[in-house]
Structure 1
Amino acid sequence: PICSVAEETFLLTWDDVINLNELNTLISADQKQENPIELLVLSACETAAGDSRAALGLAGIAVRGGARSTIASLWTVNDLATTELMTRFYQSLATGQVTKAEALRQAQQELLQSEAFNHPIYWSAFILLGNWL
């Protein structure tokens, strides 16, 4: 979740740590170049959980900073279920025939119908903020 101390809020990527100030700079730079981030997926735990500084956590900060859309989670998520959800989401989105919202809904529906991940704790943590199209 987002920490009330900005300097202690960060994203851990495969090769680096991006703190909140750097994230804001990256998003703002794209906005200034008239090339905004169309979709930022924060598939880690509690990336849409916030505090008094940012009601929707990192996701809210990203949208407020200029990202058109953000997908993020409201609580701690299961790695295997999240991998499955995101794989299905991107497969649907890649067809070019559905909106971001519909691709997420379809992925969540598929997990709901699966035997391994049908409990809502596995698929319902993720929300889409910003432009749903």
Structure 2
Amino acid sequence: MHDGEQWLVQRYRLNNITAASLTDLNTQPQRQMQVLAGAFATGRYNFTVGGEAFDFSGLPFAGAEVENLAKTIPTTTQFIDQAFTPEVTVPKMDDYTVVHLATHAAFVVGTPDDSFILFGNGDRITLREMQNWSLKNVDLVVLSACETGLGGKLGNGEEILGLGYQMQQAGARAAVASLWSVSDGGTQALMNAFYAGLKSDNLTKAEALRQAQIALITNNYQALGEQRGIGVEAISDRTQPSVQEQLSHPYYWASFILIGNGL
């Protein structure tokens, strides 16, 4: 939304609430941030779910994104491609405060329970299977560089909020997900900016996402620690020049929403 002068996010923090969020809006995040990060960077998988055909290729910038995340937050454990499996990743999730999945996710229109997250080895976990997850120690789950896989059809929002709801039902206090197919390189830039803000002691999850979006809109990263060396060079590292020149367009920054506790 734009008022003719600026985008709504430049004036306000935006926070999406589900029924599972109503009783957990004030819980503060844990002080020591520990991140479990997985990335599907190379390979290709195709399959059919609910009558829909899906064809997903690796996201090269997802690997760079996770590498940069680990530089920003040294207490990060990384799983890339074949090492990024449900068997290895899921049991460890509750040992971390942030779970970051740089991969594809498909929100299947009409049958939300068939919506899934794709892992680096080609395995999938459905929304139905996520009901068995335990994320009681997790402050935030981030689905980064994901594609909605809606096949040209728009749902009613149930698929997106259903994911956030399920993460909260499993115990996580908040989730970040995208509303449409997003740019691999552009998402890397946004996520680098987001984690630079999240690392700051005085930014909440909602404000860190807002400041990351503003940084892309204005090409000004000062609020995210430019004076501490987290500037344009680091945030745009390895991102294509053609993408860097267009990061202010809402396609690159507006798709990601925060669901749940924004603190």
Letter in 2 for 1:8: D
Q: Provide the residue aligned with 1:67 in structure 2.
A: 172
Q: Which residue of 75, 97, 102 corresponds with 2:202?
A: 97
Answer whether contact 1:51 1:57 (CA < 8 A) is retained: no
When structure 1 is superposed on structure 2, of 11-20 and 76-85 the one drifting more is: 11-20
Answer whether contact 1:74 1:127 (CA < 8 A) is retained: yes
Deviation at 1:120, TM superposition (A): 0.9
Does residue 5 of structure 1 match 2:111? yes
Answer whether contact 1:2 1:51 (CA < 8 A) is retained: no
Letter in 1 for 2:209: L
SS in 2 for 1:56: helix
Runs of 4+ with deviation above 4 angstroms: 49-55
SS in 2 for 1:14: coil
Deviation at 1:50, TM superposition (A): 5.3
Unpaired runs of 5+ residues, structure 1, are none
Q: Provide the residue aligned with 2:261 in structure 1.
A: 131
Deviation at 1:51, TM superposition (A): 4.6
More strand by share: 2
Q: Which residue of 5, 15, 20 corresponds with 2:127?
A: 20
Answer whether contact 1:9 1:19 (CA < 8 A) is retained: yes
Deviations 1:67-110 (A, max 9, x none): 20011111111111111101110111112321101110111011
Deviation at 1:122, TM superposition (A): 0.9
Q: How many residues get paired?
A: 126
Change (3 A) 1:74 1:52: closer
Q: Provide the residue aligned with 1:46 in structure 2.
A: 148
Cα distance in 2 between the residues matched to 1:77 and 1:52: 17
Unpaired runs of 5+ residues, structure 2, are 1-105, 220-244
Task: Report 1:80-119 matches (<5 A).
Answer: 80-114=185-219, 115-119=245-249
More helix by share: 1
Question: Structure 2-normalised TM-score?
Answer: 0.43
